[in-house]
Amino acid sequence: MMSFGHILFLSILLFEYGNSGDILRSGDRWVSVKGGTLVSSKGTFEAGFFRAAGTESWFLGIWYKNVAERTYVWVGNREEPLHSSNGTLEVVDDQLVIRDNSKPVWFATRRRESSSSSTTTAVAQLLENGNLVLKDVNNDNPEDFFWQSFDEPTDTILPEMKLLWNYQNRYLTSWRAFDDPRPGNFFFGFKTPQYPVLAIWYNDFLLYRSGPWNGYKFIGAPPLFRLEWKNQHILYLSINTTTTSPDYTRVQLDNDGSVRHYTWNQRAKKWDQQWSLSPDQCELHRTCYGNAYCRVGSSSPACECIPGFEFSSMNVTTKECVQKKNWTCNGDDHFSLVRKMNIPDSRNAKSNPQNNGLGDCTCTAYSMSISLETDNWSCITWSGDLLDLRSYSDEGLDLYVRTAGKKKSKTGLIVGTCVCILVVLALLALFCYWRRKKTREIERERATTAASSIEIMMPRERENLIEADQLSAPMDFAMIVNATDNFSQEIGHGGFGYVYKGVLASGEEIAVKKLSQLSKQGLDEFRTEVRSISRLRHLNIVRLYGWSVYKEEKLLIYEYLVNGSLERHLFGGGELNWETRFHIIKGVAQGLAYIEEGGYDLILHRDLKPDNILLDRYMTPKISDFGLARMCARSEKEVFTQHTAGTHGYVSPESLLHGIFSSASDVFSFGVIVLEIVNGKRNRSFSSSIGYLLGYAWNKYNEGNWSEIIDEKIRQDCVESWQVLRCIEVGLLCSQYFARDRPKISLVVAQLQQETIEIQKPKRPAFYPIDHEGKSGIPSSSNFKGESSTSTSCTVNGYTFSEIDAR
Q: pLDDT of 60-77, one tens digit each? A: 999 999 888 899 999 999
SS3 content of the chain, % helix, strand, coil (to 5): 25, 30, 45
56 vs 62: CA distance, rounded Å: 19
Considering only CA atoms, which of 691, 614, 677, 683 is closest in space to residue 651? 683
Tens digits of per-residue pLDDT, 49-63?
999 888 889 999 999
1-152 fold = Agglutinin, subunit A (2.90.10)
492 vs 334: CA distance, rounded Å: 49
Say whether pLDDT at 210 is over 80: yes
Say whether pLDDT at 548 is over 50: yes
529 vs 544: CA distance, rounded Å: 9
567-795 fold = Transferase(Phosphotransferase); domain 1 (1.10.510)
Average pLDDT score over residue span 624-647:
66
H/E run at residue 622: strand 621-623
H/E run at residue 427: helix 410-438
Tens digits of per-residue pLDDT, 444-457?
454 334 333 333 34
First to last CA, the chain: 86
Confidence of residue 440 (pLDDT cuts 50, 70, 90): low
SS3 399: strand
Considering only CA atoms, which of 668, 728, 740, 721 is closest in space to residue 702? 728
What pLDDT was estimated at residue 267?
A: 87
What pLDDT was estimated at residue 706?
A: 92
Tens digits of per-residue pLDDT, 131-156?
999 999 999 998 889 999 998 999 99
Considering only CA atoms, which of 170, 172, 158 is closest in space to residue 262? 158
Confidence of residue 599 (pLDDT cuts 50, 70, 90): low
**Of 408-417, 439-448, 541-550, the least confident:** 439-448
**Of 486-490, 507-511, 789-793, the least confident:** 789-793
**Of 30-39, 259-268, 599-608, the least confident:** 599-608
CA dihedral for 238, 244, 246, 247, sign (positive or negative): negative
**Of 202-216, 462-476, 638-652, the least confident:** 462-476
Whether the CB-CB separation of 781 and 657 falls below 8 Å is answered with yes
472-560 fold = Phosphorylase Kinase; domain 1 (3.30.200)
Catalytic residue among 94, 155, 607, 625: 607
Whether the CB-CB separation of 323 and 308 falls below 8 Å is answered with yes
Say whether pLDDT at 173 is over 70: yes
| Distance set, CA 122 to CA 23, 32, 74, 77, 93 (Å) | 10, 19, 22, 21, 8
What pLDDT was estimated at residue 48?
A: 94
Please indicate whether residue 155 is annotated as part of the active site: no
135 is in an annotated binding site: no
Which one has a higher pLDDT value, 626 or 230? Answer: 626
Say whether pLDDT at 306 is over 50: yes
Average pLDDT score over residue span 340-357:
70
Q: What is the DSSP string of 111-155?
A: PGGG---TT--EEEEE-TTS-EEEEETT---GGG-SEEGGGS--S
Say whether pLDDT at 230 is over 80: no
Q: Which neighbouring-strand residues pair with 499?
A: 492, 513
What pLDDT was estimated at residue 91?
A: 92
Average pLDDT score over residue span 584-588:
96
- All structural domains of the chain with their residue ranges: 1-152, 160-246+272-279, 292-403, 472-560, 567-795
Considering only CA atoms, which of 58, 69, 34, 62 is closest in space to residue 48? 62
Percent of the chain at pLDDT > 90 equals 30
Tens digits of per-residue pLDDT, 715-737?
887 766 789 999 999 999 999 98
Average pLDDT score over residue span 371-399:
78
Whether the CB-CB separation of 740 and 789 falls below 8 Å is answered with yes
Confidence of residue 244 (pLDDT cuts 50, 70, 90): low
What pLDDT was estimated at residue 187?
A: 93
561 vs 733: CA distance, rounded Å: 31
- What's the mean per-residue pLDDT of the chain? 78
Tens digits of per-residue pLDDT, 386-397?
888 888 877 888
pTM of the model: 0.52
85 Cβ contact list (under 8 Å, min separation 6): 33, 34
**Of 107-121, 141-155, 273-287, the least confident:** 107-121
**Cα 35 from chain centroid (whole Å):** 41
Number of residues that make up the chain: 807
What pLDDT was estimated at residue 146?
A: 92
CA angle 124, 127, 129 (to 5 degrees): 145
CA dihedral 534, 538, 543, 546 (to 10 degrees): 30
Percent of the chain at pLDDT > 70 equals 74
Average pLDDT score over residue span 514-518:
73
521 vs 498: CA distance, rounded Å: 12
